[in-house]
Chain A
Amino acid sequence: MKSSANRRWFLKSLALAGAPVVCPTVEADETDGHESGATSSGTMGVLMDITQCVGCRKCEYACGQAAGFNVPPIETFDDRAVFENDRRPGPASYTVVNRYAAGESPERFVKVNCLHCNEPACASACLVGALQKTATGAVVYDPWKCMGCRYCMVACPFQIPAYEYDNAFTPQVRKCTMCADRIANGARVPACVEICPKECLIYGRRDELLALAHDRIRQHPDRYVEHIYGEHEAGGASWLYLSDRRFADLGFVAVPAAAPSHLTETLQHAVFKHWAPPACLYGLLGAIMWLSRRPDDEPKTSPAVPTMPPRLKGAVS
Chain B
Amino acid sequence: MNAASTKPGRRSTGATKPNAHGPVCFVAGILFATWAVYAPAAQDRPPNVGGDCAACHSCDDPSPQARCLRACARPAHEPKPTSLTNEFAPHIVILGELADRYLPVPFDHAGHAAMANMTRGCVVCHHHTPQGQEHPSCKSCHALEPGTGDIHMPGLKGAYHRQCMNCHVEWSGDTHCSVCHQPRTGGTTSLKLSTPSKDDIIGQMHPPIPEPEVRQYEIARDGIEPSRVLFRHKRHIDAYGLRCADCHHENSCVRCHARSNSDAPPVKPLNEHHQPCFACHENDACESCHYETEQPPPAMFDHAGTRWPLTRYHREAGCRDCHTVVPYQSPKTECNECHNDWAPGTFDHAVTGQTLDALHVSIDCAECHTNRQFDRPPTCGACHDADSGISFPDRRPGPVNSNNP
Chain B, 120-172, CB within 8 A of any chain A CB:
145-148, 151-152, 154-155, 157-158, 161-162, 165, 169-170
Segment of A135-143, A169-177, A199-207, A253-261 in the binding face: A199-207
Q: Check: A68 CB closer than 8 A to any chain B CB.
A: no
Partner of B146, one of A189, A198, A215: A189
B176, A78: Cβ atoms closer than 8 Å: yes
A199, B158: Cβ atoms closer than 8 Å: yes
Q: Check: B175 CB closer than 8 A to any chain A CB.
A: yes
A208 to B147, CA, bound (A): 14
Interface residues of B, dominant DSSP: loop
Segment of A20-28, A52-60, A232-240, A274-282 in the binding face: A52-60
Q: Which residue on chain B has the smallest CB distance to residue A205?
A: B151
Contact A197 to B145, CB < 8 A, known contacts A56-B175, A106-B170, A212-B152: no
Contact A208 to B151, CB < 8 A, known contacts A197-B161, A198-B162: yes
Q: Check: A242 CB closer than 8 A to any chain B CB.
A: no
A56 to B165, CA, bound (A): 11
Contact A199 to B147, CB < 8 A, known contacts A55-B175, A106-B170: no
Q: Check: B75 CB closer than 8 A to any chain A CB.
A: yes
Distance in Å: Cβ of A76 to nearest Cβ of chain B: 12
Q: Which residue on chain A has the smallest CB distance to residue B170?
A: A106
Interface size on B, residues (CB 8 A): 19
Q: Check: A12 CB closer than 8 A to any chain B CB.
A: no
Contacts of A188 in B (CB 8 A): 145-148
A52 to B161, CA, bound (A): 10
A34 to B17, CA, bound (A): 70
Distance in Å: Cβ of A204 to nearest Cβ of chain B: 4
Distance in Å: Cβ of A226 to nearest Cβ of chain B: 19
Partner of B147, one of A54, A78, A189, A215: A189
Contacts of B151 in A (CB 8 A): 202, 204, 208-209, 212
Interface centre among A78, A106, A199, A212 (most CB of B within 10 A): A199
Q: Which residue on chain B has the smallest CB distance to residue A209?
A: B151
Contacts of A54 in B (CB 8 A): 165, 169, 175
A199 to B148, CA, bound (A): 13
Interface size on A, residues (CB 8 A): 21
Q: Which residue on chain B has the smallest CB distance to residue A208?
A: B151
Q: Which residue on chain B has the smallest CB distance to residue A56?
A: B175
Contact with B along A38-79 (1 / 0, CB 8 A): 000000000000001011100000000000000000000010
Distance in Å: Cβ of A42 to nearest Cβ of chain B: 15
Q: Which residue on chain A has the smallest CB distance to residue B163?
A: A198
Contacts of A209 in B (CB 8 A): 151
Q: Check: A152 CB closer than 8 A to any chain B CB.
A: no
Distance in Å: Cβ of B162 to nearest Cβ of chain A: 5
A197 to B158, CA, bound (A): 6
Q: Check: A244 CB closer than 8 A to any chain B CB.
A: no
Q: Check: A265 CB closer than 8 A to any chain B CB.
A: no
B146, A193: Cβ atoms closer than 8 Å: yes
Partner of A199, one of B75, B145, B146: B146
| Extra pairs beyond A198-B158, A199-B158 (13, CB < 8 Å) | A56-B177, A78-B176, A188-B145, A188-B146, A189-B146, A197-B161, A197-B165, A198-B162, A199-B157, A199-B161, A199-B162, A202-B151, A208-B151
Could you list some 13 contacts between A and B, CB below 8 A? A56-B175, A78-B176, A78-B177, A188-B148, A189-B146, A193-B147, A196-B158, A197-B157, A198-B158, A198-B162, A199-B154, A208-B151, A212-B151
Closest 4 CB pairs of A and B: A199-B158, A188-B147, A189-B147, A197-B161
